[in-house]
Amino acid sequence: MTVRFTEVANADPAPQCTHDYQVSCGNCRLNAICLPLALKSEDIDQLDDIIQRGKPLQKSQHLYREGDDFQSVYAVRSGTLKAYKTTDDGREQVTGFYFPGEILGMDGISNNSHASSAKALETSAVCEIPFSSLEKLSTLMPNLQRHFFQLMSREITEDQMLITLLSKNSAEERVTALLLSISSRNARRKLSATQFRLPMSRVDIGNYLGLTVETVSRVFSRLQKMDILRVDNKEIEILDVNELRRLADSMN
């Protein structure tokens, strides 16, 4: 018995409706959670000028690769991307998932070379923000400088939350924490907080959370048996948010 939530899950601006390309930050649906936040409208126009809106990325295409020259940071317009590093012995470590309105690529600043790779998990579109222009603009617009400092600082605090999760929490807690994170990021974009489609595979989830696929799968099954979740492949419905929060919060 397969139930489809496709209608809800795909409420995202799908790349197919390209006739309505966002041509300006000023009228972008996402500008409340993206870069322009806290900028005056004439400043937004200046920012607009440096931003390049590229063609959509197909699923599994790379936005950049580890070691590439660092030129730009990117704002996700639609779709989802994952960032990952390749360890010396060739394994992957997923370091983050990026949803519409979120910025990625900032880890390349320190060495002028990307410290991780970024790959589209589904058809996605991004706004490219050339970093040198952003730097110049930042010296002229203190608000922009501050906003960008804040964005980087948030990346740090989020990484630290993941560190804590990996270091202290059980498989169940890690998975529930990720689900709640995705749920709240959906809510921020005015999408359903309880029904959504996971854009990433079980492998990616496990990799991100420091677990094997099997463990992730078992946790999903367990949560479903407990009537906290309804899982149908990548379609997720949260049936009992409170219980899910309780599980994520910490040891019972």
Residues that bind a copy of itself (CB under 8 A): 85, 87-89, 91, 93, 95, 106-111, 115-116, 135-136, 138-140, 142, 145-146, 148-157, 159-160, 162-164, 166-168, 207-210, 249-251
Q: How far is the CB of 55 from a copy of itself (least distance, A)?
A: 27
Interatomic CA distance for residues 115 and 74, integer angstroms: 14
Question: In whole angstroms, how close is the CB of 116 to DNA at the nearest point?
Answer: 20
Smaller CB separation from DNA, 133 or 212: 212
**In the complex with DNA, which residue's Cβ is closer, 41 or 252?**
252
Report the interface residues with DNA, using CB under 7 A: 2, 170-172, 201-203, 210-218, 220-221, 231, 233-234
User: 90 exposed, middle or buried (CB, 10 Å; 0-12, 13-18, 19+)?
Assistant: exposed
CB atoms within 10 A of CB 214: 10
| Amino acid at residue number 228 | I
- Owner of token pair 């966002």: 22
The item of DNA, a copy of itself, none sharing an interface with residue 18, based on CB under 5 to 8 Å by kind, is none
Question: Residue 150 or residue 221: which is nearer to DNA going by CB?
Answer: 221
* Min separation Cβ 4 and DNA, Å: 9
Cα end-to-end span (Å), the chain = 33
Nearer Cβ to a copy of itself, position 62 or 146? 146
Under a CB-based contact definition with an 8 Å cutoff, are residues 80 and 103 in contact?
no
The beta-strand segments (E) located in 36-156 are: 52-53, 62-64, 72-78, 81-86, 92-98, 103-104, 117-120, 125-130
Report the nearest approach of DNA to the CB of residue 91 (Å).
10
Rounded least distance, CB 118 to a copy of itself, Å:
13
Specify which residues 126 forms β-bridges with.
Answer: 76
User: Among residues 25 and 219, whose Cβ is nearest to DNA?
Assistant: 219
